Amino acid sequence: MTNCSSCGVGLDYEYSKRPNSAEVDHVLPHSRGGTDTLDNTTVICRWCNQRKGNGRALARPKPVAVEPTTRVKW
């Protein structure tokens, strides 16, 4: 899986603790009776996983186009 199944951002498997870092998500959280089986897990980005928390509704972020800039005077 290369993109978050919730918001579609490209997942980063190399670095952790970044907004787009890949994390395992429990579809049904432990606190609601979920298990650690493969059927109850999916891979989503860290941002979505933290926003989802204990299963509250996710507000999907809108992609923002960023123009590359430099502070170097040419």
Length of the chain: 74
Residue 55 reports pLDDT greater than 70:
no
Query: Are 24 and 51 in contact, with CB atoms under 8 Å apart?
Result: no
State the pLDDT at residue 69: 73
**Cα–Cα distance for residue pair 17/12, rounded to 1 Å:** 10
Please give the share of the chain, as a percent, with pLDDT higher than 70: 82
**Cα–Cα distance for residue pair 3/43, rounded to 1 Å:** 9
Q: Both tokens of residue 56? A: 């509250």
What are the two backbone dihedrals, phi and then psi, of residue 68, each rounded to the nearest 5 degrees?
-65, 140
- What pLDDT, in 10s, does the model give residues 20-44? 999 999 988 888 888 999 999 999 9
Average pLDDT, the chain: 83
Residue 62 reports pLDDT greater than 90:
no
State the pLDDT at residue 14: 94
